[in-house]
């Protein structure tokens, strides 16, 4: 794992975004946070791909399913691991996220150590 792996956090809940950013930066990751679907769309279209994306499903303007489809449509982002976060614990949403191109799916409220372990699993292969 790269000590300076980059993680894009797309999360509209300010508290959760703060917790994720704090948790990831403490582990040595470089974190970029965007707070809604429009900002995420602009970031994906204009920026180099990070090592991993943590993507909320329920976002203002453009939802996480549309964002993951956009990520998979970009040549430079296509292979970027995407872990989706959702408050909805339904099989339909899990299937929809995985079908849309997500690599993994975490239900909120998440356990910090589990989230970090899932991140490490994808960043090991990316490093």
**48: CATH:** 3.40.50.2300
Widest CA span of the chain, in angstroms?
A: 36
pTM of the predicted model as reported, rounded to 2 decimal places:
0.92
Residue 94, pLDDT score: 82
Examine residue 6 and state whether it is found in any structural domain, yes or no. no
**Which of the four pLDDT bands, split at 50, 70 and 90, describes residue 104?**
very high
Examine residue 56 and state whether it is found in any structural domain, yes or no. yes
Examine residue 14 and state whether it is found in any structural domain, yes or no. no
Examine residue 30 and state whether it is found in any structural domain, yes or no. yes
Examine residue 39 and state whether it is found in any structural domain, yes or no. yes
Domain count, the chain: 1
Range of the domain at 54: 26-83+100-127
Examine residue 74 and state whether it is found in any structural domain, yes or no. yes
Average pLDDT, rounded, for the chain: 92
């Amino acid at each position: 794992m790269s000590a300076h792996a980059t993680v894009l956090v797309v999360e509209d809940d300010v508290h959760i975004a703060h917790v994720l950013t704090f948790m990831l930066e403490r582990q040595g990751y470089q974190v970029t946070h965007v707070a809604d679907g429009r900002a995420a769309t602009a970031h994906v279209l204009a920026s180099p791909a990070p090592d991993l994306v943590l993507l909320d499903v329920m976002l203002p303007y453009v939802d996480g399913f549309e964002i993951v489809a956009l990520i998979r449509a970009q040549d430079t982002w296509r292979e970027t691991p995407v872990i989706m976060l959702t408050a909805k614990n339904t099989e339909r949403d899990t299937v929809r996220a995985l079908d849309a191109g997500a690599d993994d799916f975490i239900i909120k409220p998440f356990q910090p150590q589990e989230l970090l372990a899932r991140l490490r699993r994808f960043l090991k292969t990316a490093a």
